[in-house]
Amino acid sequence: MDRQDIASFTYEEIQEEMKKIGEKPFRGRQIYEWIHVRSADDFSEMTNLSRELREKLSLHYRIPQMKVAAHQVSRKDPTEKFLFELEDGNMIESVLMKYEYGNSVCISSQAGCRMGCRFCASAIGGLKRSLLASEMLRQVYQVQKCCKERVSNIVVMGTGEPLDNYENFVRFVHMISDEHGLHISQRSITASTCGIVPGIQRLAGEGLQITLALSLHGSTQEKRKALMPVANKYALPEVLAACDYYFEKTGRRITFEYSLVKGVNDQPEDIRELTALLKHRNCHVNLIPVNPVKERTFRRPSYENAVEFKNKLEKNGINVTIRRERGSDIDGACGQLRRRYAADHKGETDEIICDD
């Protein structure tokens, strides 16, 4: 019999599970606390359970393991990057960003990605597999454990498309915000999607309070298609209608992400088109000067041009910011550490500061 992943059971489910194996539900509550509050990664750590029970648990269940393969600390800004190795050898990355208001962790939702965005490093190797809810949770727990700092915000903007791993992603949101776990407010969670329309519509009905970020990147269907293959499947008007629906159902303002690519989507006509698209929408635009990826030819506009782009949008009544660059010295852009590791891994890792 395959041992089930006990770390992906919700607080309610784990109590039901204990009943199934003839234990009292409160054992489930104890185990939940060990895994989700105390970051235990093995039954042997659960010292308030009898040895017999721990042995029984390890017969029925497993806690998926995750090793820190590399940990890089930026010298430029308060940013740390983690490369984790999953049980099956797949690699994922997470980023810790420290702000005045608290610590934010950017997590991956899949190992690899099948969305194929032209400027994105994560798309290069394709999708390996989707992550379990417990593997998304564990990224946050490991970062906390390693840095001994509490995490208050989560962005699901690492490798992968969360809405391509819908059930596990929603389960993750419920569990990370559960009062019996880390209890991170849903309002402090942002998930980014490339625009999977049925996923956005379904998410709108989940009763969650998370912020949805939509990767827009182009102001017309044609321009979006040139950068994002997913636009062939879900056209821009449908995507925007789904975003409007999300706002209507949840009251949560949408963030539109727009990666600025020199000569491709940073022209005066883009400002006009973006304004027409967004000015009647209650939203926020986040401009990201594209991070150059070795395997891609895209270039970013100069900082001055990005600021000019922002100012013009602002003048047109659009609520807009430029994303502050973080961790550029530690392969800060999505999927780059993972790519580099795959390309030139010779057994040793980058600077390992924390290893457990």
* Nearest in space to 261 (alpha carbons), one of 226, 209, 217: 217
Interface residue with ligand SAH, options 333, 338, 339, 341 (CB under 6 A): 333
Binding of residue 97 to ligand SAH (CB under 6 A): no
Type of residue numbered 306:
A
Binding of residue 194 to ligand SAH (CB under 6 A): yes
Binding of residue 259 to ligand SAH (CB under 6 A): yes
Binding of residue 175 to ligand SAH (CB under 6 A): no
CB of 247 to ligand SAH, least distance (A): 17
Active-site choice (93, 135, 161, 257): 93
Active-site choice (120, 194, 243, 334): 334
Binding of residue 119 to ligand SAH (CB under 6 A): yes
Binding of residue 168 to ligand SAH (CB under 6 A): no
Mention every residue, 6+ apart, whose C-beta is less than 8 A from residue 83. Answer: 68, 69, 70, 71, 91, 92, 93, 337, 338, 341, 349, 350
How many residues of this chain bind ligand SAH (CB under 6 A)?
A: 18
CA distances from 217 to 17, 226, 266, 269 (A): 45, 10, 10, 14
Tokens found for residue 121: 């490093």
Selected range binding ligand SAH among 54-62, 187-195, 204-212, 346-354, rule: CB under 6 A: 187-195
* Nearest in space to 155 (alpha carbons), one of 192, 112, 182: 192
Binding of residue 204 to ligand SAH (CB under 6 A): no
Mention every residue, 6+ apart, whose C-beta is less than 8 A from residue 96. Answer: 79, 80, 81, 82, 103, 104, 105, 143, 147, 149, 151
* Cα separation, 351 vs 356, whole angstroms: 14
Residues of this chain, 20-79, that bind ligand SAH according to CB under 6 A: none
Interface residue with ligand SAH, options 165, 190, 211, 291 (CB under 6 A): 291
Selected range binding ligand SAH among 68-76, 191-199, 337-345, 347-355, rule: CB under 6 A: 191-199
Q: Check if 354 is active-site.
A: no
Q: Check if 93 is active-site.
A: yes
Tokens found for residue 318: 């659009």
CB of 213 to ligand SAH, least distance (A): 6
Q: Are 188 and 19 in contact (CB under 8 A)?
A: no
Binding of residue 139 to ligand SAH (CB under 6 A): no
Binding of residue 290 to ligand SAH (CB under 6 A): yes
Burial of 209 (0-12, 13-18, 19+ CB in 10 A): middle
Q: Are 243 and 200 in contact (CB under 8 A)?
A: yes
Selected range binding ligand SAH among 55-63, 83-91, 146-154, 190-198, rule: CB under 6 A: 190-198
Mention every residue, 6+ apart, whose C-beta is less than 8 A from residue 66. Answer: 41, 84, 85, 86, 87, 135, 138, 139, 142
Q: How many residues does the chain have?
A: 356
Interface residue with ligand SAH, options 74, 168, 192, 255 (CB under 6 A): 192
Binding of residue 134 to ligand SAH (CB under 6 A): no
**Contact residues for ligand SAH, defined by CB under 6 A:** 115, 117, 119-120, 157, 161, 192-194, 215, 257, 259, 288, 290-291, 293, 333-334
* Catalytic residue ranges: 93, 334
